[in-house]
Structure 1
Amino acid sequence: MENNPVRILIVEDDMIIGANLSIQLTSLGYEVTAIIPRGEEAIMHIREQSPHILLMDINLKGSLNGIETVKIIQKAKDIPIIYLTANSDDATFEKAKETQPKAFITKPFNKVSLQRTIALVVEQLKESKETIDNEQQIEVLDDRIFVRHNGRMEKLLLDDILYIEADRNYCTLITQKVNHILTCTLKVMQEKLPSTSFVRVHRSYIINISKLDVLADGHLEIGRKVIPIGKSHKGLLLNRIRTI
């Protein structure tokens, strides 16, 4: 998705509106996979083309309206939905909400509203993909962790980890012999590792508490590494030390 344009399917039975949407989206750098007027055709198209986002008119003509079409699609595929609607009555809105759409765009739409709405959904897609990628890089089993390296999962004993240092969306697992760099946030690491052994002591550090050598007022030491202690993390660290 980073190197290829985001692919959007437009399901709209007013072809003038559909064409206008397509022109606007294309000018914003998105790829429109098709403009489809009927729900049945949309179901087939999504099976065959797998667009990233579905722009769906609620009030489709034909045997299936937009909400019914989405419900069928969602049984087979998880795709972000943005509803197009000129009908803002409460009953329709509540039915649409049941399908958990990412957004609603009210007709007549304007380019700025369309641009911002699509941009927000695309950002959510990227975050979702990063989360999945992060989850796939790490697997924790009892006393060991498996990390993805050069296309394969390599074993690392938890007891060998001294501490973990974060730099934005990267984490470095520090051991005495080798360091492992993962495309992963510190929050993901914190959720994966057992809290009995690993404690977050700073926005950028998690430590293996059994490796702690020195505890001072505002920092700690593991080996020769000086690690700061964040004020919000100090209480938890002290409580954990007392229970060792």
Structure 2
Amino acid sequence: MQSDISVLIIEDEETWMQKIKHVLNQFGYKIAGSAGNLDDALTAIRANNFDIALLDINLHGKNSGIELGKLISGMLKKPFIFITSSVHDGILNETAAAMPSAFLTKPFNPASLYISIQSALHHFSAGQVAETPKTAASPDSFFVKLGNKYVRVEWQNVVYLKSETNHTSIVTNNGDTYMVRSSLQKTLQYVIPDALKTSFVQINRAEVLHTRYLEKIVDNEAITARQSFNISDVYIKNLKQQLNIIS
């Protein structure tokens, strides 16, 4: 059964704390807890009720976040993301020693926060460490939590997306369905990788189709190997443009 990924937030700036919480709620992540100082952070980490942590390197102007990162990766064996405004050469070795799974650089937007979490889960699952802060590319896959494990789903295997109440269902070519707790429009804007956005085309108010699986169009029906979809009049022009249909 799919469940929400839980995130611990350790950040001493209230403005950024609230922004992180807002974005996490938008994407359906569960907030396991938050802390704005070292003592509360230690308590939250030791509670060990989170899947991944977002961790400010400089708690109150110190590099105490690095030691907390070592605790998370060393003792708990869990992924975490360093939040930073900048990392100078003097502490790069220290951050590497903490074994972060990703970096999130301030200022950030919803897309970069989502990408950093997905990148962290990818690196952690592959046994990799994020070497230096850099602009993360949109991953070509996404992770969902099933029980006590993370399952990687390749975007190239996604056939269509469907709007549900407060969710988007993502259906793959083998019939598996995964839920993202965000609206269809937010999924299109932030979750689908930039390189693939033009391949996913909205065909009606509730559905978006991956055009690589489109076999033919008959009247107002888009037909794939498994099923057909209704194409609303308002979307058919855009679909034809995407497919280079000129008549």
TM-score, scaled relative to structure 1: 0.48
* Largest Rg, 1 or 2: 1
Higher relative contact order (CA 8 A, sep 6+): 2
